[in-house]
Chain A
Amino acid sequence: MSLIEYTQIWLEAFVTLSLFSFLYKDNPCYKITEHVFAGLSAGYYFGLIWHAVILQQMIDPMFDNGKWWLFIPGILGVLMFSRFSQKYSWISRLSLAFVMGNTAGIFLLSELHGKVLPQMQSTMLSLGFENGLGSFVLAVIVVAGVISTLTYFYFSREHKGLLGGVARVGIWFIMISFGAHFGYTVMARISLLIGRVQFLYFDWIGSIINLFS
């Protein structure tokens, strides 16, 4: 193991333990690490956008491939910075509107074509006896769940009478789904901790053992 590798592992272990120290109580070591993290992340964005967007997507194609028209999105991008001026901040609306409008244009069809229709189709077409009774029961559960969940989230009318009853069934379905979410979320969070512990045990403690052996 080289000196640089030791430095890397020990630095990584230091920041990991500094952050974990918060579990005991708040302390300056945690605070400084937290602020350095925010700074490095912002710096990372800057470096990435400089290369991936400004150079690779705009400047290089403009000067190397003659795509002069790319100065237009460049200007729209620069206009975003007018937000820092109280007087001229309205200019940034133009760039924002361009991006928002474009995304809206994509979403208007993709949300209906790629989500609503296939999901409704799949729900409706699953009702049938072709695949046996078990499959039919499952399809009924799904149809009932979809309708009652949608009813629960329908707020234009007061949830009373039949609507209230269906919405109540919706709550039960939602509780089952949220329970499943909780179970999975526990797994997700524990996984992240396992990742750090594996690093501390195999890499950091491993490096200490390596140092003395």
Chain B
Amino acid sequence: MTILLIFAYIFLILIGALLLYMTFKTDDRRYIYLAVGFYVIFPVIVTLKLPIMLSPEVKQLYDAVEALPDSSTVMLTFDYYPSTLAETEPMSHAALHHLFRKNCKVVTMTTIPLGGPSIAERVTRELAEEYNKVYGIDFVNLGYKANYVAVLKGMGTSIETIYPTDNSGTPLSEIPMMKDIENYGDIDFIFVVADNSIVDYWISIVNAQYNNPVGTGLTAVMAPRYFAYIGSGQMTGMLGGMKGAAEYETLLQKPAAANMGMTSQSLVHLFIIFSVIAGNIIFFMGKKGKSRKSA
């Protein structure tokens, strides 16, 4: 088995080196594209299971949700576009698994006009079926309203004024679960899954003014920025990109899409590091050659 693994690694390295050499020789970037494609596809076909180490930010979020009393009310947001589904949907899935498992009442909403309500509807219905949860009693999808700053601020006083109906048009007054939920005061935790700077306003408006704990699942592009809010205690944990989602899946003992993607992720990262090193060696060798010629 070990010999097989060594051969596999040598094979992978050779492919990468060959394609980089071809890129350098022909100046055709499509060879790099081919390499990236190969490193993503290879682990999807040949599955390798890798151990996932846990980050403190993910553990903090998991612990915060775990510490909620059963039947707490949690707001889960679907603040992401379809473009980042591969990163964010595993987070929404993991969050819903955790919340439904704890019998929390889940209020979902979105501030994204392109696809937000459809994604929220599809994901919650899928997971609700698995846990036998009933719409209107265990979960509600509020849907979308325009101008997110006003939406976030307005729900602090009255959710019903901003959302007179749920996503499908049923008045909130006719939904049993919403009878006890008037504003943020009735919500125990806010789990924001987002791919844009709306998170800033969940913190600066909702957490700062209404004291709701806010935990987040963010795309990797955004994650570095939000370490500042973790450090200041304004954010209760964070899932950073697909790795964060994979860690949360590991904690839930429900490995799914994010875990599955980590081998491809590893190989492409290693390939890119290898390309950067190779690119720099070529650059410095070229520079040396030029200075020798001019001397």
A and B touch in the complex (CB under 8 A): yes
List chain A positions with a Cβ less than 8 A from chain B.
Answer: 23-24, 41, 44-45, 48-49, 51-53, 55-57, 60-61, 64-65, 99, 102-103, 106-107, 110-111, 113-115, 118-119, 121-122, 126, 142, 177, 180-181, 184-188, 190-198, 201-202
A110-B209, A122-B233, A192-B86 given; A198·B261 CB < 8 A = yes
Contact A190 B257 (CB under 8 A): no
Contact B224 A107 (CB under 8 A): no
Least Cβ–Cβ distance between A55 and chain B, in angstroms: 7
| B117 proximity list for chain A (CB < 8 A) | 48, 52
Contact B204 A103 (CB under 8 A): no
Within 8 A of A (CB), among B153-168: 153, 164-165, 167
| B171 proximity list for chain A (CB < 8 A) | 64
For chain B, give the interface size range. Answer: 35 or more
Asked if B124 is at the interface (CB within 8 A of a chain A CB), the reply is no
Measured between alpha carbons, how far is A24 from B261 in the docked complex, in Å?
25
Asked if B115 is at the interface (CB within 8 A of a chain A CB), the reply is yes
A106-B153, A198-B260 given; A184·B241 CB < 8 A = yes
Within 8 A of A (CB), among B214-237: 219-221, 223-224, 228, 231-234
A24-B30, A52-B117 given; A195·B86 CB < 8 A = yes
Closest residue of chain B to A190, judged by CB? B268
Closest residue of chain A to B261, judged by CB? A194
Least Cβ–Cβ distance between B284 and chain A, in angstroms: 19
A52-B143, A184-B224 given; A114·B207 CB < 8 A = yes
Extra pairs beyond A44-B115, A48-B113, A194-B261 (9, CB < 8 Å): A44-B114, A52-B145, A57-B164, A106-B205, A110-B208, A118-B234, A193-B86, A194-B264, A198-B86
Least Cβ–Cβ distance between A112 and chain B, in angstroms: 9
Measured between alpha carbons, how far is A110 from B233 in the docked complex, in Å?
17
The prevalent SS among residues of A at the interface is helix
A56-B169, A103-B149 given; A197·B264 CB < 8 A = yes
Contact A41 B114 (CB under 8 A): yes
| B147 proximity list for chain A (CB < 8 A) | 99, 103
List chain B positions with a Cβ less than 8 A from chain A.
Answer: 30, 33, 36-37, 40-41, 44-45, 83-87, 113-115, 117, 143-147, 149-150, 153, 164-165, 167, 169, 171, 200-201, 203-205, 207-209, 219-221, 223-224, 228, 231-234, 240-243, 257, 260-261, 264-265, 268-269, 272
Measured between alpha carbons, how far is A99 from B240 in the docked complex, in Å?
33
Measured between alpha carbons, how far is A57 from B171 in the docked complex, in Å?
11
Q: List 9 A-B contacts (CB under 8 A).
A: A52-B143, A52-B144, A110-B205, A114-B204, A186-B269, A187-B220, A190-B268, A197-B44, A198-B257
Closest residue of chain B to A179, judged by CB? B224
| B115 proximity list for chain A (CB < 8 A) | 44
Query: Which of A49, A121, A191 is in CB contact (< 8 Å) with B113?
Result: A49
Contact A194 B86 (CB under 8 A): yes
Closest residue of chain B to A53, judged by CB? B146
Measured between alpha carbons, how far is A142 from B44 in the docked complex, in Å?
41
